[in-house]
Amino acid sequence: MDAAGYAVAMLFEPTGVGGVFVVSPERITDERGFFARTWCQDEFQAHGLNRALAQCNISYNPSKGTLRGMHYQTAPYEEVKLVRCTAGAIYDVAIDLRPTSPTFGAHAAAVLSADNRSMLYIPEGCAHGFLTLTDGTEVFYQMSARFEPLAARGVRFDDPAFGIRWPGPVQVISQRDRGYPDVDL
């Protein structure tokens, strides 16, 4: 219950990749608009998810067709990401890179937008990236660990091993993200 006595919750929808969830706020609506929870340690813990929060970041992307990813950090600096689009829309993707996972090599994707206010929970050991679907897109990240530049790695967004079907052409991408090698699953 919130201070006004409303039962406020978050909705956790599993994807086809182990540990990756689409998290949506449950809206409490009245004449003022709505109120919704976007973070709750207790609810994340109740779903068996990492509830640590060490760092928050934003990325602003002026152009539709901007691709960022597919990024991850190596042990012992692996991180959970909770990703939300606060302006515009993105096609958000997580790839399971955990060799012992039953979904190793699989990916999950969701459209995140300022309108749907959904988030993607990405566990440790998964690569993350997105393609902007509109101009003027801003993405908000909550992470369980601080970024460690020496542990930063990536896989290529169009590596045939993952079979990701991006919903539009890539117009803007960094040389680093374009240059990751193919992986051998």
Residues 120, 7: Cα–Cα separation, whole Å = 23
Please check whether residue 81 is in contact with residue 142, taking contact to mean a CB–CB distance below 8 angstroms: yes
Please check whether residue 69 is in contact with residue 128, taking contact to mean a CB–CB distance below 8 angstroms: yes
Task: Please tell me which residue in 72, 91, 121, 141 is annotated as part of the active site.
Answer: 141
Task: Please tell me which residue in 6, 71, 121, 128 is annotated as part of the active site.
Answer: 71
Strand 10-14, strand 67-73: pairing: unpaired
Helical ranges in 7-108 per DSSP H:
41-46
Residue with token string 């919750």: 9
- Look up 141 and say whether it is catalytic: yes
- Look up 60 and say whether it is catalytic: no
Residues 111, 88: Cα–Cα separation, whole Å = 11
Strand 126-132, strand 28-30: pairing: unpaired
What amino acid positions are annotated as catalytic residues? 71, 141
